Amino acid sequence: MLSIVIPVYNEQENIAPLLEALKSYTPADTEYLLVDDGSTDDTLKAILLFSGRDSNVKCISLSRNFGQQNALMAGLHYAKGDVIIIMDSDLQHPPALIPEMLRKINEGYDIVQTRRTGTQRIGVIKRISTYLFYKFINSVSDIRIETNAADFKAFTRKVLDNILKFEERDLFLRGVFSWVGFSTTTIDFEAPPRKYGTTKYSLGKMMILGLRGVTSFSLKPLRIAFLAGIIISLLAFCMGIYYFFVYFRGHTVPGWMSLMTAVLFLGGVQLLAIGLLGEYVAGLVTESKKRPLYLIKDTINIK
Ligand code: UDP
Ligand code: MG
């Protein structure tokens, strides 16, 4: 059996076209597990239109917006299939790719990754920030995440059972899929622009996800901050000696510019290092509270 897990957040116009498209590319006994991530529009109503006459269309309704990653985890906890697919609900992850993904699973791969090769009309800021993010995460962490990896994947029950063992709070699923290993293959696809609705990922939300991705898979940034501190202090020390001699040779140094530069530069580096430290400490705090990842308000067609 195949399970398709789809997090949805205010996607009322996308539900019908998505489910209809999925039907034509999936086997008859597929379960469609939609996780309503606290939508405030008519998403739930749109789902009910389908779930009323088709018991394979299932829904988990979360009590509020918990974010895409947690919504995905909620869906994964309930997925019953031998093969599981996760995808976005906005048709940017083309259902037409599913047969090829299933073929790869049948060939013996445990994880089938997908990679966006180009999104038409994607914003410049998003494109640049995505590029920088993957460059950064791959250079500082021990895992390798494919550039432009999408949360559109197929994997086997074996992989899911292992992922469900993760008990961490702020899970970064893209990292987890790379961390667990198993035989993996990647398919490229062209992501079409969103037809209905707008992106639910603001630049701020993306930066938080990115920071989580980096700090939950690597301790290197902490060391980089430490190293940067040492290098800058050494530079400041050399500068001090240089100005000492310049002073005695009688050159009066205007001084203000160099002083300000040094102060501002040091201040900036310190703030950055403290912020980074704070992110790791925040991770500890959240982790130690052991709060649930999500709360369920209601379920439809789930036994
Ligand atoms: N999503 C969610 N909760 C959120 C934000 C997004 O469940 O808090 C879902 C959203 O409905 C969509 C998927 O996550 O199915 C990806 O979001 P979106 O398409 O807005 O991101 P983008 O493709 O612009 O990166
Ligand atoms: Mg999208």
pLDDT in tens, 50-63: 898 888 999 999 99
Q: Write the CATH number of the domain with boundaries 2-218.
A: 3.90.550.10
Mean pLDDT on 284-290? 82
Give the model's pLDDT for residue 122: 65
CA 65 to ligand 1 center in whole angstroms: 11
- Which residues does ligand 1 sit against, CB inside 6 Å? 7-9, 11, 37, 65, 67-68, 71, 88-90, 92, 199-201
pLDDT above 90 covers a percentage of the chain that reads 36
Q: Which residue of 40, 60, 200, 207 sits with most ligand 1 atoms within 8 Å of its CB, as the best mutation to test the pocket?
A: 200
Nearest to 5 by CA among 36, 29, 38, 27: 36
Give the model's pLDDT for residue 80: 92
CA angle 292, 6, 87 (to 5 degrees): 115
Greater model confidence, 219 or 21: 21
Nearest alpha carbon, ligand 1 atom 25: 201
Give the model's pLDDT for residue 286: 80
The pLDDT of residue 118 is above 80 = no
Mean pLDDT on 38-66? 92
Give the model's pLDDT for residue 203: 74
Poorest-pLDDT segment among 180-194, 226-240, 288-302: 226-240
In 73-90, which positions are buried (b, 16+ CB within 10 angstroms) versus exposed (e)?
bbbbbbbebebbbbbbbb
CA 225 to ligand 2 center in whole angstroms: 34
Tell how strand 83-86 and strand 153-156 pair up. antiparallel
Poorest-pLDDT segment among 34-43, 113-122, 168-177: 113-122
CA angle 197, 199, 205 (to 5 degrees): 150
Mean pLDDT on 267-294? 81
Exposed/middle/buried for residue 12 (C-beta within 10 Å: 0-12, 13-18, 19+): middle
CA 89 to ligand 1 center in whole angstroms: 7
According to DSSP, residue 193 is labeled P
Closest atom of ligand 1 to 37 CA is 7
Mean pLDDT on 217-242? 79
Q: Tens digit of pLDDT for each residue in 77-86?
A: 999 999 999 9
Mean pLDDT on 221-240? 79
Nearest alpha carbon, ligand 1 atom 13: 88
Nearest alpha carbon, ligand 1 atom 24: 199
Give the model's pLDDT for residue 63: 94
For residues 264 and 282, give the distance between their C-alpha atoms in angstroms, rounded to a whole number.
Answer: 26
Sign of torsion, CA 284 290 291 296?
positive
Poorest-pLDDT segment among 69-78, 179-188, 249-258: 249-258
For residues 144 and 169, give the distance between their C-alpha atoms in angstroms, rounded to a whole number.
Answer: 21
CB 60 within 8 A of CB 75: yes
Give the model's pLDDT for residue 249: 73
CB 281 within 8 A of CB 273: no
Q: Amino acid identity, residue 172?
A: F
- Mean pLDDT of the residues in the chain: 84
The pLDDT of residue 121 is above 70 = no
Greater model confidence, 171 or 104: 104
According to DSSP, residue 12 is labeled H
According to DSSP, residue 255 is labeled -
Poorest-pLDDT segment among 37-41, 205-209, 297-301: 205-209
What residues contact residue 140 under an 8 Å CB cut-off, 6+ apart?
214, 218, 220, 221, 224
Nearest alpha carbon, ligand 1 atom 14: 68
Nearest alpha carbon, ligand 1 atom 3: 68
The residue extents of the domains of the chain are 2-218, 220-289
Q: Tens digit of pLDDT for each residue in 162-206?
A: 999 887 777 788 888 888 888 989 898 888 777 788 877 777 777
